[in-house]
Every structure is written in C-alpha cells, then in structure tokens.
Structure 1
Amino acid sequence: MKRINLLIAFLVFAVSGVMAQVHNPVKWSVGFKKLANNEAVILIKANVEEGWHIYGMNVPAGGPESTTFTYTPANGAKVQGKTLAKEPKSKFEDVFKMNVPYYNGEVVFQQKVKLANNKPTTVKGVASFMACDKERCLPPDEYEFAVTIK
C-alpha cells in the first residue's frame, strides 16, 4: 500500500512539474562588430518563435510595453545615439484600439558604442520586452546580457 501511495505522489508531482513549465518564445543572443579602433556596434538578436511577436521600440502611449534597451558600458566607453533595428511591421489591435508596431521572426537591434581606448571593454545591458501570440500575451520579461568588445 505504501508503494502505491508513493507512486501516486510521484506521478502527481511529475505531472504538475510538466504543466508548470514556462513558455519562452524569444531566444536572445548578443555579439559585436568593430568599426574602427574607437568604435563598435553591439548586435542584439531576437529570434521570435513562429506565431509570436514582440513589440516595437516606439509603441504609442496606451499600447503594450515597448521593447527597450538599457546599457552600462565600462572603461570610459559611451553609448552613441539610439538603438536601431529594421522598420517594424504594424497592425491594428482591438484591445488597444490602435496600430501597434511589432517584430516577428528574427530581428537584430544595433547600438553604436564609442570606446575610450583599445583595451577590451565590457558593455552590460538589459532588453525589456513583451511577447504575444494571437491568443495571449506573456508578462513583460527581460534579457540581461554582457558583451566584451576586443
């Protein structure tokens, strides 16, 4: 009898663990491209699972959460200008009563960095985003990254 109760308890925990898995439809990666001795571009790539999207960087007020980036450069490096990406698609969303910019598939965000010297420089950052499909939106999420420019 104890074995049966133990088996039932094990099955309940196993099933609840499978059901509690978090869906993560956006996979991120980061790299850099050196432009000159004192400049580089940080490349932050989002691969968005088919059927899902993330919102653009300039969503109008009253809409969903925009994709944003914050940077913390080291060794005297400075972020230059705004983060750039291809032009987002746009669609009317009833829930927000407005056209909303979004990205799906693969999108590469680019951020120019001015380096203070030729030493390796680490830039840390955070991408904040919200992923949705046709039926639901996941809570806002963050991707923390660090890239060492050599």
Structure 2
Amino acid sequence: MKKLLLLMTVLLINAASYAQIETPVKWSYAAKKLSNNEAVVFLRATIQDGWHIYSQNVGDGGPIKTSFKFTPTKEYTLVGKTSEPTPIKKYEDAFKMNVTYFEKTVTFQQKIKLKAGNVAAIKGQLEYMTCNDKKCLPPEDVDFSIPLGK
C-alpha cells in the first residue's frame, strides 16, 4: 500500500512539473505629459516569436480583439479612441476570415485631457487574445495603473 501511495505521489509531481502556464505576451506602460492639461499613455505588448495578438478592429465572428477600458474619473477624460499602428492582415483558417494582428511588439496610445492639476495615475483594464499557428490561448484581462509624471 505504501509503495502504491509513493508511486501515485511521484506521478502527480511529475505531471505537475509538465503543466506550465504559457505567457507569450508581456505588457509595459509609460506616460508622457504634453502640457499641463494633456498627456498620452503608451501600452506596449512584447510578444514572443511565433505568437500574435489581435488588433482592436477585428470583425464579428473572429478572435477576441484587443480592447482597453479606462477607469472613469473626474480627473481626466479620454481624447478620441486608443490608436494603434497598421496591423498585419491575413486570412486565418481557424476563423474563416481575414484578421488583423501584431507580432513581436506593438504600442497602443491614448491621449488624455487632464482636468485636475495633479493626476497620479491613469488606471484601467485591457483584454487581449494571443494565438500561434497551432492554438489560441484563452482571452486575458490585465489591470493597469500608469503613473503620470509631473
């Protein structure tokens, strides 16, 4: 009985060592004050080779597009929509449609109008989905807080 219990424990530990959480995308953030009442925030994804994340402008029926939700506050308002560089456009069999996506790195930008004199940080949440040529990972939500320098 003890040998069976020991064998089961070794098998469970061995199986757990193979289960790794894949995180092919790392996010970083920065902000730059343009004037006393305007700033821009930068949300940068660094993507491992072979993986990609989707544009904010993916059509219906496709993958989960990258999206940004900024926490409402009286300290600032958003100026326009979050901008992105020109994405790669390609037909993907998995979705049976043309999709737009980014590889390696992408920096999204959001202009902010500051209403209060000293805004400490711009906060919110982003959602994205990442895929490679074999699989897609479940969509991920990431909270962010971007310090706004003086």
Asked if TM exceeds 0.5, the reply is yes
Kept in 1, the 8 Å contact 2:51–2:103? The answer is: yes
Contact 2:46–2:104 (8 Å) recurs in 1: yes
CA–CA separation in structure 1 for the residues paired with 2:60 and 2:9:
48
Higher mean displacement: 119-128 or 5-14: 5-14
TM-score by length of 2: 0.90
Residues 73 and 122 of structure 1 are in contact (CA less than 8 Å); yes or no, is this contact kept in structure 2? no
Q: Deviations over 1:80-123 (max 9, x none)?
A: 11101110001011232221000010101101111112213322
- Which blocks of at least 5 consecutive residues in structure 1 are unaligned? none
SS in 2 for 1:143: strand
Normalising by structure 1, report the TM-score. 0.90
| 8 Å CA contact retained: 1:50, 1:105 | yes
- Which 4+ runs in 1 deviate beyond 6 A? none
Q: Which whole-Å CA distance do the structure 1 matches of 2:132 and 2:83 have between them?
A: 24
d(CA) in 1 for partners of 2:119 and 2:79?
18
C-alpha contact 1:57 1:67 (8 A) present in aligned 2: yes
Check conservation: 1:74, 1:122, Cα contact below 8 A. no
Counterpart for residue 20 of structure 1: 19
* Alignment map for 1:2-81 (pairs within 5 Å): 2=2, 7-81=6-80
RMSD: 1.7
Residue segments in structure 2 that go unaligned for 5+ positions in a row? none
Q: CA deviation at 1:9?
A: 4.3
Is the 8 Å Cα contact of residues 92 and 98 (structure 2) preserved in structure 1? yes
Secondary structure of 1:13's aligned partner: helix
**Superposed displacement of residue 11, structure 1:** 2.4
Partners of 2:7 and 2:96 in 1: how far apart? 49
Aligned equivalents of 1:13, 1:75: Cα separation in 2: 52
Distance in 2, matches of 1:64 and 1:118, equals 40
Identical-pair percentage: 42
| Structure 2: distance between partners of 1:7 and 1:38 | 66
Q: How does 1:50-129 map to 2 (within 5 A)?
A: 50-129=49-128
Q: CA contact under 8 A between 2:75 and 2:119: conserved in structure 1?
A: no
Instruction: Tell me whether 57-66 or 112-121 shows the greater mean CA deviation.
Output: 112-121
Give the corresponding residue for 1:148.
Answer: 147
